[in-house]
């Protein structure tokens, strides 16, 4: 029942991932959520985020930010990290995951997704048949609708960790 929400991997932080190893496994495109995946909710791109994207380009990755936020939030962030982006993505709809891969020139065989929410980020990427990495949220302060979803996520993660 919950398996459709399970990520392929569950990690502490985006910034702890060994992206070189993913490249060595054949991945060439990475889709990222922004808020609580790359920075605290609502913050602009930090030096750490900018450096991460520089490192990803150096390795050889194409990137695309995919966010349910509106363009005034997503575009300035994307410009700072120098990444393609899709705003108002309607995650978990698969349409814009596919569009992001098209923008990057990749496909499901060599693309992966990194995000912090099960019911939007991971579920949508799973439905698009992508490799998924769930990361723990950077900061606990979130909008009320996300706080409610986090309580439900804890149930799913309980069963995920037990398997």
Number of domains in the chain: 1
Q: Range of 137's domain?
A: 3-162
Rounded Cα distance, 116 and 96, in Å = 17
DSSP output for 31-63: EE--BTTTBSTTPPPPHHHHHHHHHHHHHT-EE
Q: 25, exposed or middle or buried, with CB in 10 Å at 0-12, 13-18, 19+?
A: exposed
Output the CA–CA distances (angstroms, integers) from residue 82 to 7, 53, 63, 67, 78, in the order listed.
27, 7, 9, 15, 6
The pLDDT, as a whole number, for residue 140 is 67
Classify burial at 97, counting beta carbons within 10 Å of its beta carbon; exposed 0-12, middle 13-18, buried 19 or more: buried
Q: List C-alpha distances in Å: 153 to 40, 137, 150.
A: 19, 12, 5
DSSP label at residue 90: -
Q: What is the pLDDT of residue 139?
A: 79
Per-residue pLDDT of the chain (163 residues), as tens digits, is 789 999 999 999 999 999 999 999 999 999 999 999 999 989 999 999 999 999 999 999 999 999 999 999 999 999 999 999 999 999 999 999 999 999 999 999 999 999 999 999 999 999 999 999 999 999 766 666 666 677 788 888 888 888 7
Q: What is the CATH number of the domain that holds 131?
A: 3.40.50.1000
Q: How far apart are CA 11 and CA 74, in angstroms?
A: 24
Query: Which of 48, 47, 60, 50 has its CA nearest to residue 20?
Result: 60
- Mention every residue, 6+ apart, whose C-beta is less than 8 A from residue 79: none
Q: Distance (Å, rounded) from C-alpha 9 to C-alpha 134? A: 6
């Amino acid at each position: 029942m919950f398996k459709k929400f399970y990520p392929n991997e569950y990690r502490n932080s985006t910034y702890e991932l060994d992206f070189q190893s993913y490249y060595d496994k054949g991945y060439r495109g990475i889709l990222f959520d922004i808020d609580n995946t790359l920075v605290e909710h609502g913050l602009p791109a930090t030096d750490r985020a900018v450096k991460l994207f520089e490192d990803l380009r150096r390795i050889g990755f194409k990137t695309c930010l995919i966010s349910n936020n509106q363009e005034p939030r997503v575009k300035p962030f994307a410009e700072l990290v120098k990444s393609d982006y899709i705003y108002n993505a309607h995650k978990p709809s698969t349409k814009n995951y596919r569009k992001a891969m098209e923008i990057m020139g990749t496909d499901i065989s060599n693309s992966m997704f990194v995000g912090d929410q099960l019911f939007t980020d991971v579920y949508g990427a799973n439905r698009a048949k992508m490799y998924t990495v769930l990361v723990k949220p950077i900061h606990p302060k979130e909008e009320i609708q996300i706080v409610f979803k986090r309580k439900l996520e804890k149930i799913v993660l309980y069963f995920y960790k037990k398997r």
